[in-house]
Structure 1
Amino acid sequence: MKFLECGVLTLASACGGVGMGLGYRWAGFPGVPVGGVLGIVCGLVIGGGAIAGVFWVGTVLERLSKHMGLYPYLGRYWGRRHAPAWTDLKERLAAGKPVRGKVVLVRKYGRFIDLGVGFPAVLKTVDDGRVQRQMPELHTEVEALVLEFDDREREVVLTRRDRWLLVSDGVTVGYLVGNPPILEDGRAAYFPITHRAHAAFREQLERGETVSCQLLPPSKAVRRVRVEKAEWLIRIHDVPDDGAPSRTASGLDDGTRKSP
């Protein structure tokens, strides 16, 4: 059991003992269980609040340290006046595009890279659910693919693994979680890429439309598909070269088509 969890349980036990004593003093034996329960609850609340405070302070200090480490290379990229430049970058830098840059900051959870675009890129230690054991060293050149954009941190997220990119009207709007579906209904989950093209794509799905897209893994052939909303997921239908809908992602016949 971790140190913080042991501390919370110890505090809850101590508060429970104090509560039992106070309950006995105020109401005799009937007040012992009530006081004990209230004391344990108070101890858990206080301990949980303390843990949350410790994590919050740690997060703030880590962000400050990261900003100070990147400031000599990128300036105050997190400032409000850089917001329009960040929006413009997301429209210009397409997901799946190969990029090259230099590692300027090293952290246990990833490497921060200067691509020369005014904002940092991050190559995370855990990529596609797998721990990358060989990470680039400080001041070395790195080649990777653009994966997505972290709006909160204003960072370009990179990957060195092939992903199935979902492309609509020539613009990448997201990438699939894992490989394309092989289930009967052809359902898949995807991570959106935040820009205007994805907003339009999402609106079409919400209206119940079927959207013509492409799946573009960097190392495999292009796959033409039709996409529609399926609860909180999407449903993918394969489209043959002649453009006539005939099979879903699982290979079952599907002649239905919604109006675009």
Structure 2
Amino acid sequence: MVKSVCKMIVLGALAVTSTFIMAEDNTLPFPGTITGNVNVVSSYNLRGMTNSPESDTPAVQGGLDYTHDSGFYLGYWFSTLTAAYADFNTSPTNIKEDKKSFENDFYAGYKGKITDDLGYQIGGTVYYYYPGWESTGYETILGLNYKDVSITAQTLLNNVTFGNKGDTYFLATYAPKLAGGFTGKVQVAAYYYGDDDEYLAYQAKAGDVTKTDFAFRHATLGLSHPLGATGATWSLDYIFGGYTRDEAKQKNKVVLGLGYAF
């Protein structure tokens, strides 16, 4: 039932947004702008997690974003996935592998300017999975950006089945415009891991008990390019796998994507 409601919300929001965009004057009945995107990727690799179950199959993803001229933003993002961590119940013996799930991310914040080239970001995200209420997480984000370079730090505020309170994901991204209409992507990421381990029994079965405080998580090299005049864009990413909280080495992986922004 909840999954159906989530899909109805997504489809309804896309329909409303499309109506606004197709209006002749291309304006909204309120201040600000709304943009959206729909993507298909060969695998969903959350923050470089190339060994996890959600990496096994293609995923459909997309979202809507509202931006006000003041810098305030509000958005929603979703993805289909296969994830064992979304199936934790009251006992670790109830874990069911390869269960189809649905990720919903609700976020809001503010993006401001210090100078013409230097900006900052302050915000937060709620992660809700169905099925998998134990995976509902609350996270803050702080960021700085200078021209084509950005650095963000995202910190969990509660213990969930996939992380501990205080876990912080650091991500540096360089996305330059290249010749021939290409856009490049270079990313390097690291994780600081909290050691509360509230879900120790569950994590022990999944092999995720905290063994290290800080680790290189992943690096990514990517290219993207518009697909002719279709409005779609293809992308190719190569992920260099790092290490998770249990010091497990993640494999390297190629990820293909096709997206449409509106």
Is the shorter-chain TM-score for this pair beyond 0.5, marking a shared fold? no
Larger RCO (CA within 8 A; separation ≥ 6):
2
Query: Higher helix proportion, which one?
Result: 1
Query: Higher strand proportion, which one?
Result: 2
TM-score class normalised by the smaller sequence: under 0.3
Larger Rg over CA atoms: 1
